[in-house]
Structure 1
Amino acid sequence: MIDKNITFFHRNKDSGFSINKVFQNFISALNNSRIIQYYLPSLGARPISLIKNLIFALKNRGEINHVSGDVHYIILALLGKKNVLTIHDLVFLKNSKNKIDYYYKYIFWLYLPVKCASIVTCISENTKREVLNKVNSRNIQVIYNAVGSEFICADYPEINNGFDILHIGTAWNKNLENVINALSMLSNYKFRLIIIGKLSEKQKDILIKSNILYVNKFDLSDSQIYNEYCKCHIVSFPSLYEGFGMPIIEGQSVGRPVLTSNIEPLKEIANGSVIYVNPYEIESIVLAFESLFIDENLRNNLILKGKKNAERFKPETISLQYLKLYEKLLK
């Protein structure tokens, strides 16, 4: 049992709760009354926002500090204390607007934080490799994300009016356009595409032209998202880039077959318990969906493998790994 306070610093609440939600999965399992959580006061990456957040962190830092989300620079305010930095991905570099923006983020979001952190954790081996390709460090280890305890197994729904395909996310990396184009080639099967996330005008146009049946939902609560997993027959997640891939283990925990990309870290997280596709080739996605439509044995086999795979990501398992890490810091 840790006899010191563990202070978590999360990004500003207006930045979204996706990363914070993932952290709450294992924080709740720590079952430690000495946990303190702060949300940074300023939003964005402007220098004035960084300064305000650094001052806030300096005033509120504890003996053990853990920085989550994409506010890696907060580590600079924690020097002299025991601190942990978790890096989810390097998409902040991939989304840089120009060279100045790239090097600004490289220095304050990656290089200095990695060099100044007591320990860096990455949520996949792939993210660890990406970090080490840009910054040399000996204090990096992998601790996976934990799946939410609310994602419990549910009975597989009857296939009466066709398959409900749940597609999570509409950002560029979620590869929705290729999924739509693939499904438009399977008009001889009955299905409905359930899309979670706000659609762009371009995506709406593609959907209209595809002539496939779809439903769009967004701003859902955790319980509503869980219900969508329960109601679906197939989870669609053929992403182009991910730091981890939560929908894989969320879908598997509920007991649904998952279609995902044959890229890292999705291969690492799925560990052979899914049907893989080449996310850039529409024909590959077409064949995978068709196989899931026609082969009940395949679906059942993936469900069994998926449930076993999801066991690796239980909150209790992940929280124990972090407890050992905090204990190591105190030695």
Structure 2
Amino acid sequence: MAVFSIDVREACRKKRTGKGQWTYGFVNELLNREYKIVLLTDQNLPKEWEGSSSEVIIYPGGFSWHLRVSRYLKKNLFDSIYISPTSFIVPALVSKRIKTIPVIHDLIAFQKGKHDIKAKIVERLLLKKAIKSAHRAMTNSDNTRNDLVKKYPFASNKTTAIFAGPSDVKTSGNSSDEKIILCVGTLSPRKNQLRLIKAYQKLPDSLKSKYKLILAGGRGWNDKKIIKEAQHTDGVDWIGYVKEDKYHELLRTCTMLVLPSLYEGFGLQILDAEKMGVPVLCSDMGSLTEVAGNCAVVVNPLDIESIKDGLEKILSDESLRSRLQEEGPVQSEKYSWKRTVDLFLDAI
């Protein structure tokens, strides 16, 4: 039976973002299967994993972490399959004799526009080598797989889309009683909060007086203009990073979720919102329409008027909101962590 060694560092962070949430959901499900698992990290595990039968190896963080993991894999050459859900460094460092499975969430590093410089350089330098050396490669959506194969045609025969599942929503149903337009994501140009704020500013006064725009997410990069615009716009409130319980509470009480990103590899927030029966507005870029299906109002994220029109459409049309609330949960049932892990195991 295969031994899975997994980089779970991002899942162990106190403030998990997209890739960390994906890793957390994937590992949660894999721990329920009959496999020997080695969890490789640089800090303590989430409490809910502490009672599992998995082996835990903690190495100091930084670049030395990757070197230590590489040495560990070389010593366990014939026993281990290494799953790398958030980094391409180890898959690029080790030889082909070691079975590695990198997970590609997006190709943001190869997109035009501003992005985290360190991540951009590392991914551009290492992704091709990591894919070439890999036993298999996984993506979180068909869209990301298509982007990857378009850039690296050789990846076609070894790459499988395994998608994702919703978070563990602890509340049931959406009450929409707080009159909130909710946007969840790290502040950055790619997440497009600045255009969203400007679109909100253009809404009729009758809607702005009734609905407030809540931005939930930690600071990212090139975010000063976003923060300044939020602080100087009546009805807009940036509340910073929120923990899972608060995130679920916001979903339970908001009127709609907005994800106007310029590019996303998946869009976990859309899946969570649809599961809760929350009407969704999303952009027509990246994989967002793939995840949302026909259960969202789709806009051009580069056009402030398009975003404004989408907001106004959902806020003003009760029958549309009702349809999205009914159809969203049905769409969300297409995705689950069980399905993701099943697809992963079938692919290897």
What is the aligned partner in structure 1 of residue 86 from structure 2? 69
Which string of whole-angstrom CA distances, capped at 9 and with x for unpartnered residues, describes residues 267-323 of structure 1? Answer: 111112111111111111111111111111101111222111111111222222122
Is residue 123–residue 142 contact of structure 1 (8 Å, CA) maintained in 2?
Answer: yes
Match of 2:165 among 133, 136, 146: 146
Is residue 73–residue 98 contact of structure 2 (8 Å, CA) maintained in 1?
Answer: no
Tell me the C-alpha RMSD between the 2 structures. 2.7
Q: Is 1:182 paired with 2:202?
A: no
Paired residue secondary structure (1:69): coil
What is the aligned partner in structure 2 of residue 80 from structure 1? 97
Q: Offset of 1:188 from its aligned partner? A: 1.9
Q: How does 1:62-211 map to 2 (within 5 A)?
A: 62-74=79-91, 76-77=93-94, 79-94=96-111, 95=115, 97=117, 102=121, 105-108=123-126, 110-135=127-152, 136-137=154-155, 138-148=157-167, 150-151=168-169, 154-159=172-177, 163-169=179-185, 170-186=187-203, 187-189=205-207, 190-198=210-218, 200-211=223-234
Q: Which amino acid aligns with 1:308?
A: V
What is the aligned partner in structure 1 of residue 45 from structure 2? none
CA distance in 1, matches of 2:212, 2:61: 38
Paired residue secondary structure (2:282): strand
Q: Is 1:252 paired with 2:274?
A: yes
Q: Offset of 1:164 from its aligned partner? A: 0.6
Q: How does 1:294-309 map to 2 (within 5 A)?
A: 294-309=316-331
CA distance in 2, matches of 1:55, 1:35: 18
Q: Which amino acid aligns with 1:207?
A: A
Paired residue secondary structure (2:87): coil
What is the aligned partner in structure 2 of residue 325 from structure 1? 347
Specify every segment of 5 or more residues in structure 2 that has no aligned partner in the other structure, as ranges.
43-58
Q: Offset of 1:127 from its aligned partner? A: 1.4
CA distance in 2, matches of 1:87, 1:250: 21
CA distance in 1, matches of 2:236, 2:109: 34
What is the aligned partner in structure 1 of residue 290 from structure 2? 268
Identical columns (%): 22
Q: Offset of 1:113 from its aligned partner? A: 0.7
Q: Which amino acid aligns with 2:40?
A: Y
What is the aligned partner in structure 2 of residue 17 from structure 1? 16
Q: Offset of 1:142 from its aligned partner? A: 0.9
Is residue 262–residue 276 contact of structure 1 (8 Å, CA) maintained in 2?
Answer: yes
Match of 2:245 among 223, 226, 233: 223
TM-score, scaled to structure 1: 0.84
Q: Which amino acid aligns with 2:297?
A: I
CA distance in 1, matches of 2:215, 2:117: 28
TM-score, scaled to structure 2: 0.81
CA distance in 2, matches of 1:272, 1:289: 17
Is residue 143–residue 287 contact of structure 2 (8 Å, CA) maintained in 1?
Answer: yes
Paired residue secondary structure (1:307): helix
CA distance in 2, matches of 1:57, 1:42: 16
Paired residue secondary structure (1:276): strand
What is the aligned partner in structure 2 of residue 32 from structure 1? 33
Which string of whole-angstrom CA distances, capped at 9 and with x for unpartnered residues, describes residues 42-88 of structure 1? Answer: 656x6x66545533544566422211112354354363243322111
CA distance in 2, matches of 1:74, 1:11: 16
CA distance in 2, matches of 1:49, 1:36: 15
Q: Offset of 1:250 from its aligned partner? A: 1.0
CA 1:106/1:142 → structure 2, altered by over 3 Å: closer, same or farther?
A: same
Paired residue secondary structure (1:210): coil
CA 1:273/1:54 → structure 2, altered by over 3 Å: closer, same or farther?
A: same
Is residue 166–residue 268 contact of structure 2 (8 Å, CA) maintained in 1?
Answer: yes
CA 1:319/1:301 → structure 2, altered by over 3 Å: closer, same or farther?
A: same
